[in-house]
Amino acid sequence: MERSAFIRLAPSCEVRCGEATYRITHEIDLDSVLGENVATGERKRLKVADIEAVQPVAGGPAEKQRRASDISDKAWSVAEQRWAIIKPLVDRGIIPRAEVEAVAAQAKVDPSTIYRWLSDYSHSGHLSSLAPTTAGRPPGRTSLSPEVEAVIAGAIEDAFLTRQKLKPSDIIEKVEAACRQAKLPVPGKNTVRARIAALHPQLVLRRRGERAKADNLGKPVRGHFPGADKPLAVVQIDHTQLDVIVVEETTRLPMGRPWLTLAIDVYSRMVTGYHLSMERPNANAVGLCLSMSMLPKGPVLEALGVPGEWPVYGRLAKVMADNAKEFRGKLLARACRDWGIDLDFRPVKTPHYGGHIERLMGTTANEVRKLDGATFSNTRQREGYNSEGMASMTLGEVERYLVDFLTTTYHMRLHSEIAMTPRRRWQVGLLGDGVQPGAGLPEKIADAEKLRLDFTPCLERTIQRYGVEMDKIGYQDEVLYRWAGATDPDDPKRPRQFEFRRDPRDVSRIWFWDPEIQRYFAIPYRDLSHPSVSLWQIKAAKAELKRQGVLDVDEDQLFKAIARREGYAEEARAKTKAARREFHRASQVKPAPAAAPVQERQPSTPSPREDDGLFDTPPVIYGDIEPAEFQR
């Protein structure tokens, strides 16, 4: 069975907290739930930030993560077709068999196939679970026969979903009798109870004669934007260059204006995520902003030292963006679809479709103009004000100021369009207000690291005996040994391509997706004596070597060039903004968190090389160099 990507935080769901398993009984507030220890019966308040998915039982069915990028375009097309077929039936519990048969007839498949697709998708939450697999039953899958499933569905339809209001124990007896009469295997009592528990509460109430309760249960508060009827139903995302000049960390001299990527929940006007950088917007900035939008913000606030709360997390239903190229990459689109996100684009010449994010950008810009070093929005406003001379805040200080403003001011003040604060609107949308019921706490991401990596730039490489190479840099780890020299399973004459991910801010390690074990592994430099560097530094050093006439670059030359450029940039950073930006990029390299522990090894000693005289003259400082993989 494919592992679920999300953790449901609704009553009756089981979760893990610490060393114990709890069954959620009540939603307390935006940050916590009340859980009952399944072993001791003790009740305890559980922080959402501490909740994890229940681990699979040892010896039980194997749980694997099927990667969207492992699936061929043809298989992915089939998955999308299957999703279009079952989409009207998703999240409705057990559907009347007549509806399933009608959908099956229209799709020209057996009803049992529809049930199987619904089961696959509901367990994983990923579109990739609908892609066709090789012939035969997947490893670890155990399921009832379609005939037994039909008996259970029929008993629920004919006896449970009626005004007679029979108990689950009555339905179990009817299923057992029907299976014995038909000489079918009798399913377990818990199996039947699970099918009943999976029914949508509104369906149960309506079919059992309580229509008024059904109509009020979970009824969303309608917004003005189409589809934005509850938190995270529609999120808008965009970029802007801030009207403030930031200074370099060490010299406190001006570097230029940073770029900000922001995402906003249209229903509540809460900010869901951001990304701040000196680099121009690209697909990596979009991926970082979207992954942050879905994860708890506690670690971000703690790292920045910002007080207050930012209780926004969970699956995004739809993301609306403009038509810029960084939003239209194939890999970004596939990652969004696989995580259940509908990536949509604003119609051309319809600015009102992006009005919410545009207004947020305007609010943020006005706040930033209060800072020293503001450039304002035009030259007339800036007349007589020396922006560079007045600049005093680093990029990190501007980030802290922005997050503090968003969480303690913007989220907490009255918003004229919703007649309440964004924080209050978010709370009402999830928990209700005594008059209008809420939608319930969002599902929490089960594997934060996998989410981040799925939205990180992807490359394909073959694996050799020496490991794998990217941009002239070698990477090696023992997990690669068994795949060295592997051939394509569909064409043995061709070498097999494997998927790797890397964070452009720190390429000292890359992440390898093992297609058999079905998980990511961190792969470090082959030569562990090399320093951590960014992809930007690599591209800039290669461009400099090419300018010097060196076309066949090796690893040692590349790291020598990076070290030499850092030295020149440090000397020149007091003279030019471009040099200060380069020095800033080099100093901001931060080791990215590993997806899996990496075995420590002793650094190998690189072979000595003579100074080849390539840097007799200072290098040219290049501007923004954007890797092509960001635009895929």
DSSP structure class, residue 2: B
Maximum average pLDDT range among 133-137, 193-197, 268-272: 268-272
Q: Please, what is the average pLDDT of the chain?
A: 79
pLDDT at 348: 55
Burial (Cβ within 10 Å: 0-12, 13-18, ≥19) of residue 549: exposed
C-alpha of 139 from chain center: 27
Beta-bridged to residue 461, according to DSSP, are 498
Contact criterion met (CB below 8 Å) for 312 and 268: no
pLDDT digits (tens, 9 = 90+) for 65-87: 555 656 777 787 888 888 888 88
Amino acid at 26: H
Indicate whether 63 pLDDT > 50: no
| Torsion (CA) 21, 452, 238, 628 in degrees, nearest 10 | -170
**C-alpha angle 220-222-96 in degrees, rounded to nearest 5:** 45
Indicate whether 56 pLDDT > 80: no
Burial (Cβ within 10 Å: 0-12, 13-18, ≥19) of residue 579: buried
Q: Of the candidates 342, 340, 448, which has an alpha carbon nearest to the alpha carbon of residue 124?
A: 340
Q: What is the pTM of this model?
A: 0.64
What domains are there in the chain, each with its CATH number? 1-63 (2.30.30.140), 235-450 (3.30.420.10), 456-631 (no CATH)
- Paired sense of beta strands 318-321 and 468-470, if any: unpaired
630 vs 614, more confident: 630
**C-alpha angle 416-290-220 in degrees, rounded to nearest 5:** 45
pLDDT at 210: 82
pLDDT interval class at 388 (50, 70, 90): low
Indicate whether 465 pLDDT > 60: yes
- One-character DSSP codes across 568-590: HHHHHTTT-HHHHHHHHHHHT--
Task: Report the pLDDT averaged over residues 493-502.
Answer: 92
Measured distance CA(186)–CA(222) in Å, rounded: 46
Provide the total of helices (H) and of strands (E) in the chain, helices listed first. Answer: 20, 22
pLDDT digits (tens, 9 = 90+) for 264-309: 999 999 999 999 988 888 888 899 999 999 999 999 999 999 988 9
Task: Report the pLDDT averaged over residues 429-449.
Answer: 87
Measured distance CA(13)–CA(443) in Å, rounded: 11
Q: Of the candidates 288, 318, 324, 235, which has an alpha carbon nearest to the alpha carbon of residue 631?
A: 324
pLDDT interval class at 581 (50, 70, 90): low
